[in-house]
Structures are given as structure tokens and as C-alpha cells.
Structure 1
Amino acid sequence: MVITPPPPSPGDQPAGIGTSIELFTGGGGLALAMHDAGFRHLLAVELDKRACATLRANRATDFTPDADDPSRLDDRWPLVEGDVGQVNFARWKGKVDVIAGGVPCQPWSLGGVGKGYDDPRNLWPELFRCVRETRPKAIIAENVKGLLRPSFKPYYDYILRELAAPFEQRVNGEDWRDHDKRLTKTLASGKYDPTERYEVKHLCLNAADYGVPQIRHRVFVVAFRKDLAIDWNFPDATHTAEALAHAQADGSYWAEHHLPPPPVTTLPSLAVPEGTQRWRTLRDAIATLPEPLGDKIEHPDWLHHYGWPGAREYTGHTANVLDRPAKTVKAGVHGVPGGETVMRDDAGRIRYMTVREVARVMTFPDMWKLDGPRGEQMRQLGNAVPVELATVIAKSVVKALK
């Protein structure tokens, strides 16, 4: 088992298929997906020191203003560790194809205090500023489902309108509601410069529907510059719960895992949507990993694979089961309060999932190193975009831009 990143191979397209700037990079899920889709990162920006250490341990290097931009896909990602509000993006005007970022979720998270637009961690305005300064061809933004709450809907609609017309700027001291009125009027006028407008689409996706072994609902917002006249739609789901239910009922799922089927199986009444594969389960994700050796004992052959003491179940804190997708991974040390990193094994025992097992559920590659103690590693994973879900979106954007 490889536990350090191998040297990147040049590939058939040494420069990649396009360029990108990654905002709010975190532990690198969306950035890695963009890279794997062929985008050459001109810059990555992240404030958290542990996440920055993770990025450096894998593919990033500190940004040097006097250095040339990366020219090959396998060049290391230039990283700014610091406040995105202090970064001037003007040098990349006309040079970047896609701006991407998982906008910090705390203002909108169902598990947080939900201050929304009044939260100082609301960084959508910085995304809009980056767009104005660079004029990218496309934008990919990801956020939590909490942004769709009825109490936040007016602001969510405002976000979408501001992304459609980012050059209609909010002025100092202007309330967002007044700005939204101006945006609504401007967008209705029909008079605009198409290089300063974006066609915006948004959808809440379940990662499990795209092959990620985890139930994880996230909002994606994707926009293309209007002068490109690109007709794009979100990719169709490729995996379904119905297909998993049928595979478990007809025995094929259990055969894959060399297990006897349950004593009684009844085929579900719901048909499998045509052309879909079954949801991937926690068992699928961790099948090739050995059992952890013990509490706090690192496995010699697997990075971040060690047990942790104290797992238990109680009301509202039930364990993951092996033969369903995992619960949504959250940014807590132990996943409290919902048991997101507690699992029940085939013998009925309860234990915490290892960091490597959680990384598998988030579809990070096994050689991806996470900096810091266990709690920091789990927090980075819980805040990340699942790599395989982001790759589906990134590749669909590649296809549209081509």
C-alpha cells in the first residue's frame, strides 16, 4: 500500500484542459477533483493552517508573487495561506477558465447557529469579487443544504441574482435587500454586456446518487458566462437506492462481498431506474481495508488507519451500518451528535471509524495525507467536498467548455 504521493505523470495533456482558481480550498476535495478533471490550478486560497499543511503535504506549494504561473498540470498548486479578502486576483484577469470553491458552510449549516448573511464567515461576497476581477468562463460553488431553509431563501435567491450579474456591485453601506432590488431591476431590463453576465443553475445533490458511499446532500451552483452561449444541465444521477435494494434482494450484492444472503429476501416493488447502478455502501468503501490494530495504534501499511476508544450508541447517536451508504460525515471529532463516525461491524460490535475509513467515505485517495491530530483530520474531512461527486461536476463543466 502506497502511503506517500507518487510523482505525478506528465500525461497526454501536460498543460491540462483549462485553468482554475480554487477559493476556500480546505483539505482539498474540490481542488483535487478539478485537478483530476484536467484543470491547472493557478492559485489556491485557504485560511486554516491545518488545511494548508494538508495541501502542502500533497500537491501545493506557497505562492510566490514573482513566480510564473504553473504551466503544466503536474505543477504544484500555488497556495496563499490567509484571508481571501486580502488577495488581489487582478493578475489573472482573462487567464482563468473556472473559479471554484466550497463556500464556508457555518453561516448556513443546520448544525450551526445559522446567522446566515449576518455571519462574518459569509464569504459569498469574496467569491463575487474574484469573479469581477478575473472574468472566468465558469464558476462552481458548493454549500450545505441549510442554505435552502425557508428563513434563508430570500438571501439564497439574492446570491443567485448577484452571481448572474456580479458587476452590478453592492455599494458601501447598502443593505443587501436594497441591492437585491437593484439586481432584480437590472436583470429584468434585458440590456447588458454578455461578458459581465452569467447563466446560473443550482441544484441540491445527494452524493450517494453519484457513486459516493455516503448520504450527503449539498447545494451546487454552476454558472457560465453568457457570451459563451453554453447550454448546460446538471449530470443525471448514476446510482440509486432502488438498484441497491434489488441487488441485496436478489443476492448479487452479498455475492460480491462473499457473504451469505439474509435468510429471507423479497424483491422490492419499486423498479430500478434504467441505466443506474446501485448505491455504494460503507462495506463497499472499506472492504479492502484491514481491521484497525487497536486504539491509537497506526497500521504500518495504511495511512491514518488506527482505532479510537470510547465509541457508544444512544438515542440520537446510532451507528452506521455496513450495508447502507454512510451517514453524512460532519466536521466534529467524533461526529457527535448523530453517530456519523461510529459503525457496527459484522459481529455487532460498535467502534469508531478510522480516519482512513472516513476518508474512503469522502472518496479521497488512500495516499492523501491529512495534517494534524485526529480531531483536525476529521474536521477537514467533514468540511470537504467528496472528491468523486465534485469530479462528476468538474468533468461535465469540461465537456461544456470544450
Structure 2
Amino acid sequence: MMKSVELFAGAGGLAMGATLAGFESLAVVEWDRWACDTMRENQRKGHPLVQNLPLWEGDVRDFDWSGFPEGIDLVSGGPPCQPFSMGGRHKAFGDQRDMFPATVDVVRRLKPKSFIIENVKGLTRPSFHDYFQYIQLQLEFPEVDRHDGETWLEHLKRLQEEKTSGAQHFNGLTYNLFPILVNAADYGIPQKRERVFIVGFRSDLGAEWSPPAPTHSKDALLYDQWVTGDYWERHCVPESRRPEVPKHLVSQVRKLDDSLFEYDRKPWRTVRDALVDVPDPQKPGAHFFCDHNFQDGARVYKGHTGSPLDLPSKTLKAGAHGVPGGENMMVRDDGSVRYFTVRESARLQAFPDGYTFHGAWGETMRQLGNAVPVALARTMACSVAEQLALTQLRNLAKQTSRRKMA
């Protein structure tokens, strides 16, 4: 079985995805006690996706890696996004929460065959262009370490010079990087969540990775809703209660109808799709779902108006009341809003229903808003596992060919 290490594990979304992809974890590192309590609680309950994860609570910079073998198959993790997120302070390297240097240090120490690093779309903003390049070059040349007293811009210049001189002439550890921006909705997650993934393979492996192909699309959803009407039939919405085609989508729907659109992908999954069997938390029967308690106080803020039922949800935010919580709401059929419950939010992040969250509502919403959707994590980890298996087969074939020639 392939071996992995998980950094900045949070509530366990990325680690669970790696488990589903067939990786066996040697270490799961997370400093936040509430997130650790969530994983420990599910381990006590025997949840199969986390039961055997070797959880360590503490700062990744204090973890002892001396007993770990070099060349493990995968290092994965989502360094804290606040230094780069739209809602953060935008300080990047100047933010003490920037854990990319610690991530590079682990890669330098363990020399893994591959890594998966996840972060927010904000990392790709023009204002972070130089620092995003700096992150990538550090991961590409992890042994070109930063000198004492050297600024990150001075270090960036040295890395750029190393890159320009030709990585093929560098004798140290290097990685081939594949940075991509993905929308979780395109992979069947009922949430429009854009995230950066930096996937890397050790250069000596000769890996030829390409991103997993999207499986779902907005066009397919629009076709399902406004051309065939199958979407409304599935949800037993009578014609008298079906909304009209939104004005800004009329021309797009007309084109889909005129072109005899054919499904090459499945429809985006909507909030209604994800919560179809989850009762209203204010009505009888809701108590049968764990973590499904009504939270009062939802109201609309400018630019934060909640998620319509018949689209993937907006990106869940790591917050509760106020502006972050304004995106963690659903818009009911009658136009009123209420907060998503913890269970509903977990559905939108593709966590299993049996997975419970530790802490008060605001704390659990922070864990969920910071999480990697489990199904998306599995998709990415499976694509990496497949490439690692292919490289191993190619190397075995080369060795067999050499022996025959000898």
C-alpha cells in the first residue's frame, strides 16, 4: 500500500480523501484542538476513514520527522489560507500564519515521490504573483534553502536564477510541478468552490500527470432544468411552483436548446440535490440527523445573500455570524434565508453523514469552511496514485528490459 503524510489536516477532509484513494497514512498533523477533537471523536466511534489515522496535535514545525523514511509516496496538506484569502489580511510571507515555508521544509526532509498542496483562489491574484511564483520555485527546488538574514525576495531571485540555468543541471532534489485552479462543482461537489492545487512529482520519476477531467457542468444543469425539465421532475416540483428562467440565463438556455445539447458531463449538483432527504431542522424528524440543529439569527448582508436551492452553494466560509456567515445560508423557496446546519454544511463539503463535528456551531462551521471536500480530495489523490503506479510499472519494465539485454 502507498504511504502518505498529511499536514494541516483540519477536520480531516484531505486525509479522508487520501484514505479513499488507497493511501495509508504514517502521520496526520494538526495544531487546532477543536479539529483534533473532531477526528478523535470519530476515531472513538470507529469511523473507517479516520479510525487508523495516526493523529498528532501540535505545530507541524515541532513534529519529529527523524524516524520517517525518505521517499514516501505522498505528502498532502492545505496550509492556512488566511494570508491569501479574500477575507484575510493579504500579508502572505509577512503573515505569521504562512505555513508554506514549513511545508517546503517537510518536502525537503522526506523527499516524497509526490505532493498535493491545496489553497484558496486568492493565491493567484496579481498582487500575489511574485509570492505564488516563490512558493512554486521553493517546491520545485526544496534544497535551495533560504539563507539566514535573506529576504524572501532575495531568495526568490536565487531560485529564479537556478530555474533559468536549467533544472536538468541541478544535482539536488527537484520536482515537476502542476499548479491548477479547479472548481469543486465541476467534480460533483454541490458547491462552487474554487481552489488552487499544486501537484508535484519528484523529477527522477518522469511522471506525466494531467488533472482529472471534470465530470459535471453548469450547461448540463441548465439543460436539465430549463430545456428538458427533468431536474424539476426528479424533485417533484409541480409546474406551477417552478421558477422562470432567470433573465441573465435566457440566451444561454436558448443556445443549449437550439444546439440539441448532448450530455458529455453530468449536471452540476445543487443544494436541493445535496439535501433532498434532509428534513427542515425546525420540523419533526430532524433529530434523527446528527449535527442538524437550527441556528437562529440569519440575515442578508450586502454581497452576502446566501445560496439558492437550485444551484451549487456558494463557497462555505470559515465563520459564523456576520459577513462570513452571510454566505453560509440557504435561500428558501419563499425567498427567506436561514443558516445551513452543520450536517447540511457537511453534505455540501461531501463529508459522510456518520462523520460528526466537535465544538459549538461557530467552531464547527470554521472547521467545515476550512475543509477540503472529501470527494474532491479523493479525486485528486486517486489521480496521483494512478500516476505513481504507472511510473512504478514503467520503471519495472525498464529494469526487466535491461536485465534481458545484459
Residue 8 (structure 1) aligns with: none
Residue 300 (structure 1) aligns with: 287
Code of the residue aligned with 1:193 in structure 2: it is N
Tell me if 1:230 matches 2:203. no
Residue 287 (structure 1) aligns with: 276
Task: Choose from 308, 331, 337 the match for 2:318.
Answer: 331
Q: Which moved more, 1:285-294 or 1:332-341?
A: 332-341
The CA deviation string for residues 260-314 of structure 1, in whole angstroms up to 9 with x for no partner, is 24376674314657621110000011101111136xx994311100111122234
Identity %: 45
Residue 269 (structure 1) aligns with: 255
- RMSD over aligned Cα atoms: 2.2
Residue 161 (structure 1) aligns with: 137
Alignment of 1:100-249 (within 5 A): 100-189=76-165, 190-193=168-171, 196-249=173-226
Cα displacement (A) at 1:388: 1.2
In 1: Cα distance, 2:155 partner to 2:123 partner: 19
Native 8 Å contact 1:316 1:338 kept in 2? no
Residue 56 (structure 1) aligns with: 40
Native 8 Å contact 2:301 2:326 kept in 1? no
The CA deviation string for residues 181-234 of structure 1, in whole angstroms up to 9 with x for no partner, is 22122223331237x110001011111111110111110000000111010011
Q: Which runs of 5+ in 1 are unaligned?
A: 1-16, 62-71
Native 8 Å contact 1:99 1:131 kept in 2? yes
In 1: Cα distance, 2:119 partner to 2:60 partner: 17
Partner SS state of residue 255, structure 2: coil
Alignment of 1:32-43 (within 5 A): 32-43=16-27
TM-score with structure 2 length normalisation?
0.87
Partner SS state of residue 269, structure 1: helix
Residue 229 (structure 2) aligns with: 251
Larger helix proportion of the pair? 2
User: Who wins on radius of gyration, i.e. which is larger?
Assistant: 2
In 1: Cα distance, 2:379 partner to 2:266 partner: 15
Residue 6 (structure 1) aligns with: none
Partner SS state of residue 39, structure 2: helix
Native 8 Å contact 2:144 2:159 kept in 1? yes
Cα displacement (A) at 1:98: 0.2
Q: Which runs of 5+ in 2 are unaligned?
A: 390-406
Native 8 Å contact 2:309 2:330 kept in 1? yes
* C-alpha distance 347-98 of structure 1, shift in aligned 2 (>3 A): same
The CA deviation string for residues 114-159 of structure 1, in whole angstroms up to 9 with x for no partner, is 1111111111111111111111000000001111111111010111
In 2: Cα distance, 1:44 partner to 1:60 partner: 16
Native 8 Å contact 2:278 2:286 kept in 1? no
Partner SS state of residue 75, structure 2: strand
Native 8 Å contact 2:318 2:324 kept in 1? no
In 1: Cα distance, 2:148 partner to 2:129 partner: 24
Code of the residue aligned with 1:309 in structure 2: it is D
Code of the residue aligned with 1:277 in structure 2: it is K
Partner SS state of residue 326, structure 2: coil
Q: Which moved more, 1:358-367 or 1:306-315?
A: 306-315
Residue 394 (structure 2) aligns with: none
Native 8 Å contact 2:16 2:50 kept in 1? no
Cα displacement (A) at 1:343: 1.5
Tell me if 1:370 matches 2:357. yes
Tell me if 1:358 matches 2:345. yes
Cα displacement (A) at 1:377: 0.4
Task: Choose from 359, 362, 375 the match for 1:388.
Answer: 375
Residue 309 (structure 1) aligns with: 296
